[in-house]
Structure 1
């Protein structure tokens, strides 16, 4: 077909055009069907057994209308009633038929269709694979005498072959089997060279005599072997072929014509068998056909046309065999009577085949169009699905990208700060009495102005334990519903070292601001470089980051509580005040800063320049609680009322309650903590006399209160209590209840410092030895925590002093109970000795694993922090036993050092528990990484190699380790003892390149000043330090 006339691709046809094409084919098929209606009607009439012009009065005709309309057997491929392969129709009288009767191929079924349940006639279809049987039966009805003679011929051949008279039951199954046996025997004769003809005194095998029949023999043999055996009932046709084969070998025109017909017929049988199989596989099921009526009609037309072809083939075979057998003087002799009807028979067969081919082509076109429509529909569905999938993929990709960015953002913020400020806030809320602080929160002009004025500062100050009112909840309720506002806060705490650090405070505030933003400011993203280097950003960078994170908010209310709990001695408080100045000097209009503390001299001096002479356009206010004593007494009175109305004080008489309230307010001097302590003491009294006696004997102030608490401790446990008071006062982080219980039974002065048999039955029982002094705080350990490694992502309880004033009293010189003193230096000395005793005892026989660290709750803390505590002790206070224990703990290749590294390696925070002796770092490398100057000096004094390379995979020297962690004093110490400043090793190179990577300009300058050569290989340098190193 020319391109211009080429049919369009079905996948591109519009739906309307597709319908038109299908309708055209359907009409074409129906027109063809009408043209063959008479023949089809005649065929149906004959098969159904209705009287025809030749058999109208023949009462011997097999079958009746009732029998032929019977329902089909459920296990039978064709319609009709068949029982175990035997036909149920009656055999015709006087019939010696090869098959007496068959189940009839058509019946009429009544079906309900539509709401009126009208009966419609539905043609009964039979399996296409049974068409040979159906055609045989139809021919038998039309040509009864011919078939009777043909079956007599078959019976004779079978009797001759098998040597016995054959009796037939008449079933279609037996017909198929007997004809198959006949066919097999004939072909076997050929294959065994037993089928021979005599010519000129010689016996010549048939297969060698006539080449034209060789193909026919091969087809028949293929059928027998199964190559073409898709339909076992085709043996009906092949049996006739096998009988005709000998008759084609006579040397006459008649035989030649017959051979031509037989060759053509055999070819048709083969092709028809294939068509049957194809049709059953491709068109047999019409369950998915949208036009059931048309499908049934087309299926019926296909079967009828093919059946008509089969009838002609069988008629040709039967007529030929009967004629030639009757007109031959011998079975394989010469022709006696000329018979020229073979060409006419062949023409009839060809006519039937042509008719079938037309039907087949129409049906194929119909099926092809259906397939094209199905393909087109699937194509459309796939296009729609692909479009949907594409949208889904885009949405999924966006979702994945968003989640990835969110995960990276969350990881960055968690690295920025692991502190949860809500822990302290929730503790304060539990202790807060409703109504207290209303003097400030409701109607106070200074407070109202502070909330809205740009760049405002309010400092609320008073005595320790004054119950400085928390305004966080008030601000949250007033401002946080609006997403343009944010309330951030930070509680400084004397019990937690991280909550005494200004850098930690700034980091926490930045994190809180980012959590209220939909985006991550560029300045915050820039902090990622520190994370990737294992560093922390400096104070100025964080202050600038905080100021940048303020942008975009209308109001940012920032509350910093208990500035006085930031230590003064270490210089941390001075750093905090400097940070406050850095922030306020930038005059952020949307910032409102709220500070609380005691009125300490250094804090007042630091804030005075901001308050007395505030920067331009800055609002500041100083609220001294001592000037609002009446308001404080009112708040304390509300607190006392709440306590007296709860158990166990509810049953007190009202007059006793009033006396208690008056006495407590008078002695409290504005301190809530004092009142709380007295209620703990009054709890055990019953009766007016005892209660009034206790009220007259109230201690004067908090010092006297704490002194009384300590004196009430059982003398048998005073040493153990004094020990854990030191632990609580100066531990590097808050202790968990199980850790404190372990410290309670630890005595470094004993020969065996730790005995598991001394453990309390329940760790929380340790709280009974500290009545009124501590509080149990529920916490959830962050999954990224490196301080509570073994408890990551678990709930736990921290033990803290009930108030800052407790630690202040224990570490002061005001104590009258010196045995309980918790002075800083002596406390660190005691804790370091205890840690070393515990760690060395366990390391003597146990390897640190996840299970053993859980079994010995204090081991993680002691292995990691004993050197930190010892560093806080003056070198002259180190006892010989302490030096010995420290040296033992840091022995090269020892299990003690191995356990320390497995618990915590400052140079590698991942998979430390996998550390093996082969990858263990040197003691000096560990000390340089940790930053413990005094221990590093001890190791060098004892002969440690200052240039030893670590075997842990980093291949660095102690100098490189100190440069990476930024420990300036250690760097100076190592260089003083001739550490090689140019020593190469590890990923970074020499110490200067390590410092350049971390971006520490002070370390870079120190190394340059000490003779380090300027870097020429800049491939690993950070942009931040590149100019400094190369200048």
Structure 2
């Protein structure tokens, strides 16, 4: 072991600390992040200095060191530490040369998610080095050695993630198109939950056998919500990633479908993320995708989503160059495209003998009868892991670790007997015991433990005071069905609102701001990105179950069939508040308005999506928003549009576009077929070909461009002219039809619509 490398790392730590201290003085809003990173770095520096003091060149020391840990592993860990430090320095060094000039405008370069990821990686490096220091050749037991090896593998995975991040930086725009959702935050969160020595029954046993055999190439891990599937999935991903790091011919990619993040539930985003990860070891698989992307106008790239067939072809291409590819997708049951994802992954596995697929789900998959597919129910196989988890909590919890061995044994026996394979039930039961204030109270709580997870949740909801029940129900509703995770400030705004509200002010806000997390009794939590999410997917399963509808807590039952309609109405009610009636004549900038009313961004962007999901079955609120365009400055209608434009409220171009554009244009643009019909019915003399938007396109053009073919048919039947050219591109709808062969721009759906008799044909414009 080269002591110079350790000394060099100490120097690098000092350099990063110096930069952080400068940021701490200049960027007051980042003081918390600076403090957390500094604490970890000071701790790492101390460990490195101690390790350096323990190291010498004597043969005896060399012999002992060789027996204590893998020298190659030590090299990798030190190398990873250096990579991490260099990454931090790269983000911090730009302002350092001109610090005095930039101090006033200095901005903290890390998001909350990036800070948390750096903290976790620093903790891993630090933990590994600590274990090395305390390990002794003669006394270190197997479990300690295993922890050292496991941490070394995790640290090495961090290095691979850094390689992928560099690859992403080089292909940033392309990846934003192909893989808009990253699994890294979900993986880091899931990895923190598993304990050493758990999962061995699967990872060291069944998994390795699955990889070696050739008959069954797709494996579904089935288990009810709360059995620990996601934690086992994270362990599996770590193990396979470690194996791939030792074998360049092997490649691994994984993804997490999550409640509350609509984008993570879309099939093309799932496959796109897998492709992006595979490209880390084989960049050439991006060549066809890049060719497709380069044909798409940059301003319209997000309107032309990549086809899943192109992504599947990239994976097959990668498989042709590797000995084995393993694809993993967690919680596919939480995806709206569940069947599409299953079909695609099974098809890939069956088409290539060296592709293996592992999927976790709570539902029996529809593809069970397809050759090459196997299902393994893990609910009853988690008993050993649950036992390890119970022992770990009893040994480490600040309250429980002080109990007598006899009472600990009683707790362990009781929980194991009643767990029924549910990690979540055991965790909540232990949480309940640790909150008791005496051993007697713990014994009573142990005897009175609810027998099932649903009874546990019911008891939790019963404890909520009557005055808080409405706001808790709203919080649970929004965190269960939101299309994009909400920050606490955004959630606070919408949970206090109803459809009769006229104004929103500070007096209505919950105080203190974080009280919502407390009154929800642990059913919701704040993740590392500062977003509020359900504490566990089983919470939503419980709230939408048949059982709760006739239970003592039926007040909190959620109806998935009316969720999007309720959310559309609530978003529109929010947009119609008097707070936003000023229109484009407001003196505030969009940034200031979004800061003051954080839910505004979500409401503006997602009410059409909620509306599409419910078929715009009730359009009263839609027309209410559209009718505000008759107010001075186009009222709430203008505020909504300028939130979409994300331009300055005083932009002359935006004002002119809003003044000149009828709501029909935006209804066509968003594919609001029922709304388009309603507008045409209410105004038979409307100019169907009136230019709209900032470019001056017709409604039928924008509907065609964005694949809203039902709207195209409605407009053509009403007399819209598809031959009028778009001022921005110079093309018309007929030109789009001729672009059918272009990969990624599939307008085949226009052919039968344009072939039908229509008013525009009578004028000889075919």
TM-score (norm 2): 0.69
Contact between 1:745 and 1:758, CA under 8 Å: does it hold in 2?
Answer: yes
Alignment counterpart, residue 457 of structure 1, candidates 218, 223, 226: 218
Q: 1:758 to 1:953 in 2, by over 3 A?
A: closer
Pair 1:492-2:283 in alignment: no
Corresponding position of 2:319: 550
Pair 1:623-2:376 in alignment: yes
Corresponding position of 1:710: 461
Corresponding position of 2:505: 755
Q: 1:596 to 1:1008 in 2, by over 3 A?
A: same
Contact between 1:685 and 1:691, CA under 8 Å: does it hold in 2?
Answer: yes
Alignment counterpart, residue 927 of structure 1, candidates 659, 667, 676: 667
Corresponding position of 2:81: none
Q: In terms of Rg, which structure is larger?
A: 1
- Structure 1: how far apart are the matches of 2:420 and 2:286? 47
Corresponding position of 1:895: 635
- Structure 2: how far apart are the matches of 1:913 and 1:800? 36
Q: Which has the higher helix share?
A: 2
* Worse overlay, 485-494 or 997-1006: 997-1006
- Structure 1: how far apart are the matches of 2:649 and 2:246? 45
Corresponding position of 1:592: 356
- Structure 1: how far apart are the matches of 2:515 and 2:290? 47
Alignment counterpart, residue 276 of structure 2, candidates 511, 514, 519: 511
Pairing 1:68-467 to 2, within 5 Å after superposition: 409-442=171-204, 444=205, 446-453=206-213, 456-467=217-228
Post-superposition shift, 1:438?
0.7
Post-superposition shift, 1:875?
5.3
Corresponding position of 1:1008: 754
How much is the aligned-residue C-alpha RMSD, in angstroms?
A: 3.0
Q: 1:530 to 1:640 in 2, by over 3 A?
A: farther
Alignment counterpart, residue 538 of structure 1, candidates 286, 307, 331: 307
Corresponding position of 1:7: none
Q: 1:544 to 1:1011 in 2, by over 3 A?
A: farther
Q: 1:517 to 1:665 in 2, by over 3 A?
A: same
Corresponding position of 2:125: none
- Structure 1: how far apart are the matches of 2:630 and 2:403? 65
- Structure 2: how far apart are the matches of 1:933 and 1:912? 29
Q: 1:525 to 1:482 in 2, by over 3 A?
A: same
TM-score (norm 1): 0.52
CA deviation map 1:31-53 (0-9, x unaligned): xxxxxxxxxxxxxxxxxxxxxxx
CA deviation map 1:669-713 (0-9, x unaligned): 101111122233333212232212212222222221211111111
Q: Secondary structure at the match of 1:1001?
A: coil
CA deviation map 1:77-117 (0-9, x unaligned): xxxxxxxxxxxxxxxxxxxxxxxxxxxxxxxxxxxxxxxxx
Q: 1:948 to 1:866 in 2, by over 3 A?
A: same
- Structure 2: how far apart are the matches of 1:633 and 1:408? 45
Tell me which of the two structures has the higher relative contact order, counting C-alpha pairs closer than 8 angstroms and 6 or more residues apart. Answer: 2
- Structure 1: how far apart are the matches of 2:567 and 2:211? 45
Alignment counterpart, residue 649 of structure 1, candidates 400, 403, 428: 400
Corresponding position of 2:701: 960
Alignment counterpart, residue 671 of structure 1, candidates 403, 422, 425: 422
CA deviation map 1:912-957 (0-9, x unaligned): 9955220223311111111222332332233273624334442211
Contact between 1:680 and 1:772, CA under 8 Å: does it hold in 2?
Answer: no
Q: Where does structure 2 lack aligned partners over 5 or more consecutive residues?
A: 1-165
Q: Where does structure 1 lack aligned partners over 5 or more consecutive residues?
A: 1-403, 615-619, 780-796, 1016-1029
CA deviation map 1:225-268 (0-9, x unaligned): xxxxxxxxxxxxxxxxxxxxxxxxxxxxxxxxxxxxxxxxxxxx
Corresponding position of 1:640: 390
Q: Secondary structure at the match of 1:775?
A: strand
Corresponding position of 1:799: 532
- Structure 1: how far apart are the matches of 2:758 and 2:283? 46
Q: 1:580 to 1:839 in 2, by over 3 A?
A: same
Corresponding position of 2:328: 559
Contact between 2:259 and 2:537, CA under 8 Å: does it hold in 1?
Answer: yes
The alignment covers a number of residue pairs equal to 569
- Structure 2: how far apart are the matches of 1:510 and 1:923? 39
Post-superposition shift, 1:959?
0.7
Q: Secondary structure at the match of 2:636?
A: helix
Post-superposition shift, 1:531?
4.3
Q: 1:952 to 1:931 in 2, by over 3 A?
A: closer
Alignment counterpart, residue 608 of structure 1, candidates 338, 346, 369: 369
Corresponding position of 2:345: 580
- Structure 2: how far apart are the matches of 1:405 and 1:653? 53
Corresponding position of 2:731: 989
Q: Secondary structure at the match of 1:558?
A: strand
Pair 1:943-2:680 in alignment: no
- Structure 2: how far apart are the matches of 1:583 and 1:676? 37
Post-superposition shift, 1:622?
3.1
Q: Secondary structure at the match of 1:985?
A: coil
Contact between 1:960 and 1:994, CA under 8 Å: does it hold in 2?
Answer: no
- Structure 2: how far apart are the matches of 1:703 and 1:596? 22
Q: 1:525 to 1:916 in 2, by over 3 A?
A: closer
Contact between 2:329 and 2:359, CA under 8 Å: does it hold in 1?
Answer: yes
Contact between 1:656 and 1:688, CA under 8 Å: does it hold in 2?
Answer: no
Contact between 2:492 and 2:513, CA under 8 Å: does it hold in 1?
Answer: yes
